[in-house]
Structure 1
Amino acid sequence: MFSKSMRNVFRQGLDCTKVLNVICKRHLYEPAAIGLDKYEFFRNKLTNQFSEADSQTFRERMDTFADPDSTSLIFTEDLKQIIHMIGNTEADLTLVEKMMKKYNKQNKGLRFGNFTFGPVVMRMYYHLNKPDIALKVYNDPEMDGFFDQLSSYQVLMDLLFVNGMFDQILDVYKSIQEKQLQIAKFPKGVMMLVFAACYKLNTSESFQYACKLWKEQQEAGHNPIRKTITFFAANAINQNSPHIAIEVITSVRNQSYVTLRNLKVMALCDLGRIVDALPLLRSILSSDIPMSSGTIVKQNYCRDVINLVQSAAEKLNDKEILLELERIISQLEELNLVTETTLDNLLCSQVKLVDRTEFASRNPMVAASYQSDSRPYKKREFRRPGITDLL
């Protein structure tokens, strides 16, 4: 097994990356996958339609209408306009909050329009990078029911992830459970963010919470997406539970994914089973993966994982294993199958968006039942292997 000092090396690597996450604003979803491109498209469109003078006049009028003592109503179009017009100023942020609260109050019990504001508002806060305000508004009793959509939770939680607010992600998920909404008990996109938060927190408490959630999902017959599985497996390795990582990884049908293979090698080395890790390292020397598009995906291992395998082998002090490992690594290097990308970067790579028509042709029933709030100028669909209902 890895020595305590070796485990610290791995953890320090993750901690360094965590600092970079905050500085570089890493997103688990690319902007298009959470509809941020939709928001920015309509924001730019509105900017081109209204002069600065017209925008200021509108703000002043809305400020009067939003007053609790005013008998004027806040209409759907009013709120739509301010959400796409708002600037990063305290006055604008206060105005939009006042308008949302009045709109939500006047529509209690009877909604005249069918526009869903929750996800769009969260995209607004995401665009402005205001996680604290987004969280405050989400938790405000006056906004009850306003954000009860999976898309709203997902955008908010990704915004929190971007800003390193991992504890708050777990708080949001707990609040979703308490609301007992008529939605899936374990929504795939939300669960991915929850397990990502547990992985980033990397504490015994967060790991135990992840284990509890995993067990609940298994008992309910829920199949987590691959990204959720890799976060849980990495968390288990960090928390001295490589045996759990091995079992979790085995639950994935297709074992050829880069993240899974890197994690499995690490877990095996951690268990002192380096001999079992060698065939995995050797297996990619002649195994490119053909994709449906006709392109070939090169399989590889992360440099930090290779370094850890070498350290584990040196600790065993078995000359035969060391020689074989040296030969394998030399071949991997010659074929450019060792990447400088860290395992943490690989785990936190963005969920991307692909064309809906390609997805629909492969999954007609799923695509037909898929609904999205406030669709933009073009119908789109999210897809990553195993993800069929992110939003």
Structure 2
Amino acid sequence: MAYGGLIRLSNVLWSYSRQSGAGIALGLRHTKTVSPVQDSLQGYRHIFSAAALGVENYEENREKVLLQFQNIQDKFRQQMHEILQSETKAMIFTEDFKNAIHLAECKDEDMSLVVGMAKRFNSQHGGLRFGVYVFGPVVMRMFHYLNQPEYMLQALRSKELEGFFDQIISYQLAMDLLFKHGMYQEVIDVFEELQEKRLNGIKYPKNCLTLSLAACYKINTIESYHKMLEFFEGSQEYGTHLTARHISFSSALSLNQGFPHISLEILSKATNVRLLSIMNLKVLSLAELNRVEDVLPILRSLLRVDLPDTHPRGGSQMIFETTVKKVEQAVNETGNKELIAEYSHIAKGLQGNGFISVKTLDDFICAPIEQLPSKNPKFSIDRDRAMLAASFNQNSRSQRRRKSGGRPGLMDME
């Protein structure tokens, strides 16, 4: 569907539902209605793991610096405060700034010290970006580790720090921290600010787009739904590769807002329809549209254990319990005894063969994304340099942990 097509179709469906009083299949659900994919919003979560964001690297380096300064932390802080208060505008040296960032604690004095040093460091280099240590990401990792979203936002929008955080990973860290604290509108606002900057010439950075769509999904209002459509279709027009996570958040929000038609249109963009989230969302969307005849073959296909990628031990083909309940409701509403009997037979087979998961779709699509290793060594090196700029000691335990196994089953949810 061409750019703007989803928005036009959505507006038509919305207008129709308002005029006809259509039910759940076409009309807008109240935001507080509990739907198969709607989150309770209890307990905020990261979208990206600490390892993927480089926060684990920061933590390791922090432990080393704390050990080095275990008896002289207060003296060091006093010296740095004196430098900032000096009328001679004394320089902030790279190593001092590194140490201050890794010694910082969750208190106003330390936050003010680091931000003050950042402003001095930024001004003394006159906007130079080559040959200068890139501190933006490591300062953001400090904010992330210490859970300081308010200080982070102030620093990100400070005119005195213009250009300091001009790295996509810095914005990703900022947005992930805001998401963790349930500051979903701020996530969207920061993404739109990033779009205006066009860092590296990119308008829709993949990981930041993921966070913005996740924020729209969490807000779960008609306004956030339309904002999602704007981001989704804009990224398509721009040529951004849409991941399963992009599609899942957008489809789930459409479904929560009572637009299963739009949900199906969005799901049609998926390159692999057998992915866990994509398959469950398709089943839910079809059930909402009372297209039971189209749902049952999908469920029946899960029982074909002769296909390797459909076996539950492979971890990819499961049906969520909430999805099953929605299908059961739709089947019973048909009153068709043959369909009800066929569904009952399939449901017993799914239950008996362990294909029904007690987890929710929300749990799955909001699970933290791990940083996955690339098969291309050169790309892996370039990616690590971009993702972990301003972090030292690359041989971290987080990398060793990923090599030893990492979190399974999230490759399709990048």
By the TM > 0.5 criterion, same fold? yes
| Contact 2:195/2:204 (8 A) holds in 1 | no
User: For residues 329 and 270 of structure 2, what CA distance do their matches in structure 1 show?
Assistant: 28
Q: Secondary structure at the match of 1:169?
A: helix
**Aligned positions of 1:1-391 closer than 5 A:** 2=24, 11-12=33-34, 17-22=39-44, 26-52=45-71, 54-67=72-85, 69-110=87-128, 113-287=131-305, 296-297=314-315, 299-354=317-372, 356=373, 359-360=374-375, 363=376, 366-367=379-380, 369-370=382-383, 371-372=385-386, 373=389, 374=391, 376-378=393-395, 385=411
- Cα offset for 1:186? 1.2
- Equivalent residue number for residue 20 of structure 2: none
User: For residues 210 and 243 of structure 1, what CA distance do their matches in structure 2 show?
Assistant: 15
| Contact 2:280/2:323 (8 A) holds in 1 | yes
| Contact 2:38/2:256 (8 A) holds in 1 | no
| Contact 1:82/1:96 (8 A) holds in 2 | yes
Q: 1:29 to 1:287 in 2, by over 3 A?
A: farther
User: For residues 357 and 52 of structure 2, what CA distance do their matches in structure 1 show?
Assistant: 26
User: For residues 147 and 162 of structure 2, what CA distance do their matches in structure 1 show?
Assistant: 23
| Contact 2:41/2:218 (8 A) holds in 1 | no
| Contact 1:65/1:71 (8 A) holds in 2 | yes
The C-alpha deviation readout for 1:106-147, integer Å capped at 9, x for no partner, is: 122335753211111111111111111111111111111111
Q: 1:281 to 1:2 in 2, by over 3 A?
A: farther
- Cα offset for 1:385? 3.9
One-letter code aligned to 2:205: P
Comparing 181-190 with 365-374, greater Cα deviation is found at 365-374
Structure 2, gaps ≥5 residues long: 1-22
Structure 1, gaps ≥5 residues long: none
Q: 1:6 to 1:223 in 2, by over 3 A?
A: closer
User: For residues 298 and 98 of structure 2, what CA distance do their matches in structure 1 show?
Assistant: 54
One-letter code aligned to 1:122: M
User: For residues 342 and 110 of structure 2, what CA distance do their matches in structure 1 show?
Assistant: 64
User: For residues 120 and 337 of structure 2, what CA distance do their matches in structure 1 show?
Assistant: 74
Q: Secondary structure at the match of 2:166?
A: coil
Q: Secondary structure at the match of 1:98?
A: helix
Comparing 193-202 with 241-250, greater Cα deviation is found at 241-250
Comparing 313-322 with 341-350, greater Cα deviation is found at 313-322
Q: CA RMSD in A?
A: 2.7
User: For residues 243 and 341 of structure 1, what CA distance do their matches in structure 2 show?
Assistant: 25
| Contact 1:304/1:342 (8 A) holds in 2 | yes
- Cα offset for 1:297? 2.6
- Cα offset for 1:17? 3.4
User: For residues 233 and 68 of structure 1, what CA distance do their matches in structure 2 show?
Assistant: 56
| Contact 2:284/2:323 (8 A) holds in 1 | yes
| Contact 2:179/2:187 (8 A) holds in 1 | yes
- Equivalent residue number for residue 9 of structure 2: none
| Count of residues in Structure 1 that have an aligned counterpart in Structure 2 | 376
| Contact 1:269/1:277 (8 A) holds in 2 | yes
One-letter code aligned to 1:17: D
One-letter code aligned to 1:344: D
One-letter code aligned to 2:54: G
- Cα offset for 1:247? 1.9
- Using CA pairs under 8 Å that are at least 6 residues apart, name the structure with larger relative contact order, 1 or 2: 2
One-letter code aligned to 1:274: V
- Cα offset for 1:366? 3.6
- Cα offset for 1:353? 2.6
- Cα offset for 1:199? 0.8
One-letter code aligned to 1:45: K
| Contact 2:25/2:289 (8 A) holds in 1 | no
- Cα offset for 1:227? 0.6
Comparing 306-315 with 266-275, greater Cα deviation is found at 306-315
User: For residues 16 and 250 of structure 1, what CA distance do their matches in structure 2 show?
Assistant: 21
- TM-score under structure 1 normalisation? 0.88
| Contact 1:288/1:296 (8 A) holds in 2 | no
Comparing 295-304 with 128-137, greater Cα deviation is found at 295-304
User: For residues 263 and 369 of structure 2, what CA distance do their matches in structure 1 show?
Assistant: 22
The C-alpha deviation readout for 1:186-242, integer Å capped at 9, x for no partner, is: 111010111111111111111111112222222222221111111111111112221
One-letter code aligned to 2:42: L
